[in-house]
Structure 1
Amino acid sequence: MSEVRVRGRVETGLKFHGETRALRVKMVLLGSSGVGKSSLALRFSKDEFKASAPTVGCAYLTQVVCLHDATLRFEIWDTAGQEKYHSVTPLYYRGAHAALVVYDITKRESFIRAQLWLKELEKQYIPGETEVVLVGNKMDLPDDREVSLQEGRSLAERGGLLFMETSAKSGEQMNELLLTIAHRVKQKTREDEKLAEWREAECVNLNQGDTPHPLSFCCSAGL
């Protein structure tokens, strides 16, 4: 086992034949145009926020996260939300370890569309292999809310999904979300599968511990 420094902390990574490698994690962001998928991806990858034009086709970013017993290299696929790209989107989310279905809490129509995305995903993923997460973005705009927290939570509970509200703009709940996904994916992935050729690298320090806060998400499937 090797030590990987995480912004002032020391974490334990996986070491194979003298190199630290990472488990490859394909994570795809799905949802209507304008819900903030690109902003979420940028916040995940660079911890930054900036206004962006609608994604054309698909954008790709990465982030490395260190847990106490594994290093995960997230390959983040930000898909276009416009209807004209809908037919090609399955090409990007097939084989994903994690799929985030995103809606804008200030736009009810995006919440309705999120339910259609969830139905579409059910045709593609194998239960138990893909971590599906419902994400209500833009929680920094509470006065404009059109979708209640309970509505989002109830939809996730009916499907046995993880659920969290976030703000890509302020960064609120973003670290908690990524860390939760990392732990869930790690539980489902054997350490000897899909190892990336990834040498020792700087990892993101998501919180002071490596166990998600029990109230940071809901899941009816059981943790």
Structure 2
Amino acid sequence: MTNMSAAAAGPNATYNFKVVLLGEGCVGKTSLLLRYIEDKFNDKHLTTLQATFLNKKININGKRINLAIWDTAGQEKFHALGPIYYRNSNGAILVYDITDEDSFGKVKNWVKELRKMLGSEIVLIIAGNKIDLEHERTVPLEEAESYANMVGAKHFYTSAKLNQGVEELFLELTQEMVERFEQNSQTDLNRTQRVLVVDDEAPVQSSCCTGSKTN
């Protein structure tokens, strides 16, 4: 069950969403996050130990949205901690390095795990990062986009270094999370209304006459 909280019925609702960044070490998760939050890029490799999170407040079509974005460690020894960080997530950004085919394979593993643990409620975005190194690409564009379509995820190409595709990626993710939340809220409302109708019905009186004497 994902953790979406917002007063969906109110015009002044604030939507609070949890987003998790997943992927191998060195694919650029932290760089993407810093580019989005602070519009900064550090040429030195940034190693995330376990996990950190940053907040981003945005406004889309008059809706106030607070994103709590978790940046997880990509090293193999931290993989077992994954469920601790992606539990109750509304969205996940699965990052791979377009020059590292193995990192794309690991994205497929994360997708399987997220679908298994969180079902189809979580919004997935797959990011092929480091397009500034296009000449070193080893992950075919068609393969990546075909896979994303197959698992119901949107695919973006990004470069934290050149600031390409980063804002668009987070905007698309946020819009999809809002849409998913509102759909689920309407479904819950309809379900509640149906339950109330049933609850208001008078109990059925039994017309059974077992135990009566026969002539």
Deviation at 1:69, TM superposition (A): 3.1
2:62 maps to which of 47, 66, 69: 69
Higher relative contact order (CA 8 A, sep 6+): 1
2:26–2:45 contact (8 Å) kept in structure 1: no
1:38–1:52 contact (8 Å) kept in structure 2: no
Q: Say if 2:52 is the partner of 1:44.
A: no
Give TM-score scaled by structure 2 length. 0.76
- SS of 1:26's partner is strand
Give TM-score scaled by structure 1 length. 0.74
Whole-Å separation in 2 of the counterparts to 1:108 and 1:95: 29
Larger Rg: 2
Structure 2 residue identity aligned to 1:64: K
2:23 maps to which of 28, 31, 34: 31
Describe the superposition over 1:121-147 as per-residue Cα deviations: whole angstroms up to 9, x where unpaired.
Answer: 1221121x2101111100111111111
Structure 1 residue identity aligned to 2:14: A
1:159 maps to which of 145, 148, 151: 151
- SS of 2:52's partner is strand
Unaligned runs of 5+ in 2: 1-7, 186-215
Structure 2 residue identity aligned to 1:147: V
- SS of 1:41's partner is helix
2:139 maps to which of 147, 150, 166: 147
Structure 1 residue identity aligned to 2:81: V
1:101–1:133 contact (8 Å) kept in structure 2: yes
Whole-Å separation in 2 of the counterparts to 1:98 and 1:55: 20
Q: 1:34 to 1:25 in 2, by over 3 A?
A: same
- SS of 2:132's partner is coil
Deviation at 1:74, TM superposition (A): 0.9
Alpha-carbon RMSD across the aligned residues, in angstroms, is 2.2
Deviation at 1:52, TM superposition (A): 3.9
The residue that corresponds to 1:181 in the other structure is 173
The residue that corresponds to 2:96 in the other structure is 103
1:172 maps to which of 164, 174, 177: 164
Structure 1 residue identity aligned to 2:142: Q
Deviation at 1:179, TM superposition (A): 1.1
The residue that corresponds to 1:217 in the other structure is none
Whole-Å separation in 2 of the counterparts to 1:186 and 1:69: 12
- SS of 2:127's partner is strand
Q: Percent of aligned positions with the same letter in both sequences? A: 36
Whole-Å separation in 2 of the counterparts to 1:113 and 1:68: 35
Deviation at 1:21, TM superposition (A): 6.1
- SS of 1:86's partner is helix
Deviation at 1:95, TM superposition (A): 0.8
Q: Say if 2:84 is the partner of 1:91.
A: yes
Whole-Å separation in 1 of the counterparts to 2:70 and 2:180: 20
Unaligned runs of 5+ in 1: 1-13, 194-223
- SS of 2:22's partner is strand
Deviation at 1:149, TM superposition (A): 1.5
Structure number having the greater strand percentage? 1
The residue that corresponds to 1:80 in the other structure is 73
- SS of 1:85's partner is helix
Q: Say if 2:97 is the partner of 1:133.
A: no
2:97–2:130 contact (8 Å) kept in structure 1: yes
Describe the superposition over 1:145-203 as per-residue Cα deviations: whole angstroms up to 9, x where unpaired.
Answer: 11122111011011111111111111101111111111111111249x8xxxxxxxxxx
